[in-house]
Structure 1
Amino acid sequence: MTDHARDLEAVREATDRLLSAMGEFDDGSVTEPSFLPGWSRGHVLAHLSRNADALVNVLRGRPMYASSETRDHEIERDAPRLLPEQLADLSKSGAAFLAAAAEPADWSRTVTLRNGVTDSASRVPFRRWVEVELHHVDLGTGYGLEDLPDEFVTRENDFLAERFAGHPGVPPTTAVTEDGRIWTTGGGADGPPATVRGTATDILGWLCGRRDGSALTVDRGSLPALPPL
């Protein structure tokens, strides 16, 4: 069972790490490219702030975003801001999310996210944790996939394997680590089953689109091309 309270504490800690890391940079750094194609560091920071607002909406039964166009406009609007304003916004919006999530609620209820995706309310804190951790990596502060908490890596691999399960563009795929952890995914596309081996971190990098999978060993078949998240 998902422990949403424990995940909220992980969100708090991850947000503090990100704010501390970006606090070492100067104003010019926000216009520099992030590791996400087409996005500066300012875009990533703006997205994280507006995502916190959006998840408050989700917890309170409102649409996550007014529209995709509104979401994109707000990120573009906020991306050029100076670093102190970016960090103040992220701190304030992140605290507002934690406060909303601390309110008494039925955590077993179903909530609606972007594009009509539904999930248990109890998984919303984990979804926020994912946003903060992976986008911290994208900011290029020196915090890499190998720095992610072990629990996070395992759970995000679980989550992404579930997300791609049965996907029409992904053949049956099994990912295996040296210590025997196994994730199965895909299965909705024709083609021979694939078995890939590597560290849990390298598997995560491939599943979340941050690495090309070249560090993985393919026992049979070929490394499937995964759809974007």
Structure 2
Amino acid sequence: MIDHARDLASVREATERLLSAAAALDNASVAEPSRLPGWSRGHVLAHVARNADALVNVLAGRPMYASAEARDTDIERDAPRPLDAQLADVRDSAAGFQAEGERPADWSRTVELRNGVTDAAARVPFRRLVEVELHHVDLGIGYELEDLDEDFVRRETDFLADRFAGHKDLPPIRLSDDRGRTWTTGGGADAEPVHVSGRAADLMGWLAGRRDGGGLKSAGTALPALPPL
């Protein structure tokens, strides 16, 4: 069962980790490239802030973003800001998300995210946790996938395996990590299953588009090319 209150507490802790780490940057390093192609660290921080606002909208029953174009425009607008403005925005928007999450609500209700995707309201705090944790890694400032909580890695792998299940462009895929956990995903193509195994962080990183799969084994066949998330 999803524990949204626990996830909200985890979001608060993860946000503080990100803010503490980012506070060691300066204006020049905020403008430097992040690990995400085409994005500076400023883009990443701006996105983290705007995502908090967007998930407030989701919990309040409003559209997540006015449009895809508005989302992108807001990030581009906010990316060049100096460090102090970036940190204040991440902090203030995170506080707004926490406040919305602490309001009395029916957490079993269904909410709508981007592109018509729906989910249980109770899963929204974990979705926010994913944003904060993975984008902290994307900043490239010393926080790595190996630093992530083991339960978080398992849950995100669960989520991503489910997301790719039945995808028409993927063969059946059997996943296993070094903790003895297994998943099945893909299966949209008529092909023999591909067995992919490796360390938990590498496996999740590959599914999340953060690693190229170089640390994984695929039973003598090439790793499937995963579609964009």
TM-score scaled by length of structure 1 = 0.98
CA contact (8 A) 1:26 1:83 kept: yes
Residue identity matched to 2:112: T
Preserved CA contact (<8 Å) 1:195 1:220: no
Q: 1:21-36 counterparts in 2 under 5 A? A: 21-36=21-36
The size of the alignment, in residue pairs, is: 229
Q: What is the identity, as a one-letter code, of the residue corresponding to 1:162?
A: D
Superimposed CA distance per residue, residues 53-76 of structure 1 (whole angstroms, 9 cap, x where no aligned partner) = 000000000000000000000000
Letter in 1 for 2:9: E
Gaps of 5+ in 1: none
In the alignment, the residues of structure 2 paired with residue 70 and residue 58 of structure 1 have an alpha-carbon distance, to the nearest angstrom, of 16
| Larger CA deviation: 171-180 vs 109-118 | 171-180
Equivalent residues in 2 for 1:1-229 (5 A)? Answer: 1-219=1-219, 221-229=221-229
Distance 1:201 1:28 in 2: 30
| TM-fit CA distance, 1:35 | 0.1
By how many angstroms is 1:105 displaced?
A: 0.3
SS of structure 2 residue aligned to 1:94:
helix
Query: Once the 2 structures are TM-superposed, how far is the Cα of residue 102 of structure 1 from its aligned partner?
Result: 0.3
Post-superposition Cα deviations, 1:64-108, rounded to whole Å, max 9, x if no partner, equal 000000000000000000000000000000010000000000000
AA in 2 matched with 1:127: R
- Off by >4 Å, runs of 4+ in structure 1: none
* Distance in 2 separating the partners of 1:81 and 1:88: 11
CA–CA distance in 2 between the matches of 1:179 and 1:81? 42
For residue 67 of structure 1, what is the amino acid of its counterpart?
Answer: S
Amino acid at match of 2:73: H
Contact 1:153 1:201 in 2 (8 A): yes
Contact (CA 8 Å) 2:179, 2:200: kept in 1 or not? no
Shift of 1:220: 5.1
Rounded to whole Å, the distance in 1 between the matches of 2:24 and 2:180 is: 39
- How far off is 1:222 after superposition? 3.0
TM-score, normalised to structure 2, is: 0.98
Deviations 1:33-69 (A, max 9, x none): 0000000000000001000000000000000000000
State the identity as a percent: 68
Residues 167 and 186 of structure 2 are in contact (CA less than 8 Å); yes or no, is this contact kept in structure 1? yes
Aligned partner letter, 1:13: E
Q: Unaligned regions of 5+ residues in structure 2, if any? A: none
Q: Do the aligned partners of 1:194 and 1:220 also contact (CA within 8 Å) in 2?
A: no
Per-residue CA distance 1:123-175 (angstroms, 9 max, x = gap) = 00000000000000000110011011111100000000000000111110011
Question: How far did 1:178 drift?
Answer: 3.0
By how many angstroms is 1:190 displaced? 2.7
1:14 is matched by which residue type in structure 2? A
